[in-house]
Structure 1
Amino acid sequence: MAIFTDPIRDYADFRPGDAEWLHLLVGDWQLIADLAFADLALWFPTPDGSYVALAHVRPSTTHTVFHRDFVGERIRADLKPLVDAARESQTIERSSEADWTTEMAMRVEAVPMVRNGRTLAIVTSHMDLSSSRMPSRLELTYRQCAYDLLKMGTLGLWPDFASPTGSRRGAPRVGDGLIRLDADGVVEYASPNGVSAFRRLGDVESLEGRSLAEVTTALLKDRRMVDETLPLVVTGRMPWRTEIESRGVSLSLRAIPLRNERERFGALVLCRDVSELRRREMELVSKDATIREIHHRVKNNLQTVAALLRMQSRRMVSDEAKQGLEQAMRRVATIALVHETLSQGLAQNVDFDELIGRQFRLSAEVASPTQAVRTERTGEFGELPSEFATPLALVINELVTNAVEHGLAGRHGTVLLTAERSRRGEEELLTVSVEDDGVGLPDEPRREGLGLQIVRTLVTSELGGRIEWTARNGGGTCVRIDLVLNNNTAR
């Protein structure tokens, strides 16, 4: 997938960290768009003196002023002088008068994003001025916060590489709750949603004028479980995330320090009630643990069945009955191995290479107690959906056993297992081959035994594939299986 800086890589004079810094900006500038109640566009200078739009973000706190996507297009002639001025002065430039369109009046600001003394790109902010009402205290505070962050961008202080970049579930947003702190960590302003979030934790007083660190400390019941980053987040000293929990309520906090050239003069703290998210995650963890335990118990039960079959085979007088029970024991053990693999992970898919790596050699050794059989593997199965794993493992087990017992027919030899993944249009294909260098196919068709009947049934009915026996080049037999994997479940 192409990223937004790809179109400019041929001529962009990026130094170490510059491209990553712009990606960090675009990854976090939804925050500014929401605070500024404005659309933001990122412009990059081109060699011919113009600018190209690299990215655009719309606010979630108000309506957008641009309904058409203009990313990848050149800058408008009327906007270029303002962007040129910001790039040259490395300060925020504001249009002298409202920029009227056919539908609304806009106030446009151009903000140079400066890093190590160089203007890497310019952000333009486009805010609708057509509404004539007086802005509320919340709007004025939000816009001031947006201005402070953009001003930090002109100084190279925002975005900060120390900020969390992962897509952690429950990351707070502006609309979830915003608290502005002064340099000492005292609350200057708390949005209604921010106040409500702390009230759910148990705080019933107003937040403004109080130390957020002291408020948070008073709400914590079990301080042994406190995240060590919490003091630095609630005082606004570091741009980190943390969580606090009290009275069954989980609150996610993110701090963004506000700095100028000399000092830190305040901070923003975003907060979000993630109680329901964490409850669902705990339910999923519990379900995953239950599923793993079920696979583990099924594996144990199958191993018990295999042990009973082994004990029963020892009591048999007939060689044919012994052989039949031993074959049944191997099949049960193969299914148990698949469940053992499923019990060790949480994914829907199975690393089939790891599973079959153990099973392949074991199948050959069990089938050839008195002959030297060498096993070789080429290619990769990759991850397969769990519903493929059991029948395919059984099929390979039967084919390897058949190759040793009938293909090599008591002689020394080699059994080769090959896997190949490929694509045919939208379909993902898996081709599996089991080859031996033994006596080859019989001249006349023989009656299929139980093992080959199981193989044919599993391949055609369970796996929906096709199987074919052919003579191997150089002598021996090759069994080829063609399967179509579901793109939604196999990777």
Structure 2
Amino acid sequence: MSRDRIHRDLTLEMRALRHQWANDMQLILAMIESARRECSSAEAAEEVRSILDRLEIIASGWRQGGRNADSLTRSLQNLCAKANALSDTVQVAMTTVGREPVLESNRVIPLTLAVNELVTNAVKHGRRGGAAPVLVLITLESRDDGSALRIAVEDDGSEFGGPSSAMTRGSGLLLVRRLVEAQGGHFHTPGDGSKRFEIHVPVET
């Protein structure tokens, strides 16, 4: 059997597996959503919702699959759209700088999960009085040579007390650190007077 034939067969098998995994994940999501509706308290329902959000990001990554030049951009854009649709107290926007490198889905998923945690963090802890929503900006920046990515998340919500305080406001930020470090990157929390979180990750070229 030729090398090209083997490659085609493996590609078809992977597509079939991704399709099956995506279908299985949709079933799991439906079951969890059903359980969420039966939660006896708003706090419990909110916790289940956060789990659903994470799983939906994973499911979306599997549906996209493969290597795509703009896969992270599209994934983050989907995250913005969903956040804006679910809440009228926050407005999430995104900007890109430079050309995004080609990324495998197994890198896009954890990076999107990390950004999701930061956006959720801004929504929970950036609330302020008044009618104006909290504005959250995601910036995706690539080096000119495509060797590294920087993702920044910042908001104009209420202030908090420095980097040590930022890291103790729940398990979400600890999860971000683990996700980023698993990608060989670094997670930077805001300094005094700043609301900017940054994710720095290398990209294999």
Partner of 1:359: 79
Give the AA of the match of 2:101.
G
What is the CA–CA distance in structure 1 between the aligned matches of 2:174 and 2:128, rounded to whole Å? 20
Tell me what 1:309 maps to.
32
Matched residues, number: 200
Distance 1:442 1:304, change over 3 A: farther
Once the 2 structures are TM-superposed, how far is the Cα of residue 309 of structure 1 from its aligned partner? 1.2
CA deviation string 1:47-73 (max 9, x = no partner): xxxxxxxxxxxxxxxxxxxxxxxxxxx
Task: From the CA coordinates, give the structure whose radius of gyration is larger.
Answer: 1
1:288 aligns to 2:11 (yes or no):
yes
Task: Note the aligned Cα RMSD (angstroms).
Answer: 2.7
Work out the CA distance in 1 between the residues paired with 2:165 and 2:4.
57
Q: Give identity over the alignment, percent.
A: 26
Q: Please give the alpha-carbon distance, in whole angstroms, between the structure 2 residues aligned to 1:432 and 1:374.
A: 14
The residue aligned with 1:324 is: 47
List gaps (5 residues or longer) in structure 1. Answer: 1-275
Once the two structures are TM-superposed, the CA of residue 449 in structure 1 deviates from its matched residue by 1.4
Q: Which SS does the other structure have where 2:152 is aligned? A: strand
Q: Could you say what secondary structure the match of 2:147 adopts?
A: strand
1:307 positional shift: 1.6
Q: Of Structure 1 and Structure 2, which has the larger fraction of its residues in helix? A: 2
Deviation per CA, 1:267-297, whole angstroms, max 9, x where unpaired?
A: xxxxxxxxx5xx4323321210110121122
CA contact 1:465–1:484 (8 Å) conserved in 2 = yes
* Residue deviations 1:466-490 (CA, integer Å, cap 9, x gap): 1112259xx7611111111222xxx
Aligned pair partner of 2:174 in 426, 430, 453: 453
Q: Does 2:188 align with 1:465?
A: no
Corresponding residue for residue 104 of structure 2: 385
Q: Deviations over 1:176-208 (max 9, x none)?
A: xxxxxxxxxxxxxxxxxxxxxxxxxxxxxxxxx
Q: TM-score, normalised by structure 1?
A: 0.37
Pair 387,442 (structure 1): closer, same or farther in 2 beyond 3 Å: same
Distance 1:439 1:313 in 2: 30
The TM-score with structure 2 as length reference comes to 0.84
Q: Give the Cα separation in 2 of the matches to 1:445 and 1:435.
A: 16
Write the deviation string for residues 88-140 of structure 1: whole angstroms up to 9, x where unpaired. Answer: xxxxxxxxxxxxxxxxxxxxxxxxxxxxxxxxxxxxxxxxxxxxxxxxxxxxx
Task: From the two aligned structures, give the one with the greater strand fraction.
Answer: 1
Q: How far, CA to CA, are the matches of 1:365 and 1:476 in structure 2?
A: 27
Match for residue 414 of structure 1? 135
Greater RCO between the two (CA within 8 Å, min separation 6)?
Answer: 2
Provide the rounded CA distance (Å) in 2 between the counterparts of 1:470 and 1:317: 36
Cα distance, 1:337 vs structure 2? 0.7
* Structure 2 runs not aligned, ≥5 long: none
Aligned to 1:484: 202
- Measured at CA, do residues 381 and 362 of structure 1 come closer, stay the same or move farther in structure 2, by a change above 3 Å? farther
Q: Deviations over 1:316-363 (max 9, x none)?
A: 112222111111010000101111110xx5x48773222322223213
